[in-house]
Amino acid sequence: MKQIEAIIRPEKLEPLKDAFLAAKVNGMNIRQVLGCGNQYGWVAHNRGTTVMMNMIPKIEIKIVVADDKVEEIIQLIMNVVRTGEIGDGKIFIKPVEECIRIRTGERGDVAL
């Protein structure tokens, strides 16, 4: 099993949720986060003062999938959220040792 963590533009959340639903991907967690990567933010002027606005709103999505679904999900995310502009985000893949469904005690891929 792998955990896929994607940092995306906020406006791409709904299209990605729709794509996950169509692909029968479930069990996602979503958080609103602030951050910057290569985009570095922008310069704002407030009452004659120049302020660097480098914490940009993003959405963090985490899902856990079986090993054989990882590449399919990565491609789905990239196809839906890519604009080709700086700030499209990043995808991180992490190994997951175990998954346990609390209600039934099921373990492994069946618990997903």
Query: How far is it, in rounded angstroms, from Cα 50 to Cα 44?
Result: 6
Task: Tell me the pLDDT of the chain averaged across its residues.
Answer: 91
Half-sphere exposure of 4 (CA within 13 A, CB side): 24
Q: How many residues belong to the chain?
A: 112
Asked if the model's pLDDT at residue 17 lies above 80, the reply is: yes
Name the residue type at position 63. Answer: I
Q: What is the pLDDT of residues 57-98, one digit of tens each?
A: 999 999 999 999 999 999 999 999 999 998 899 999 999 999
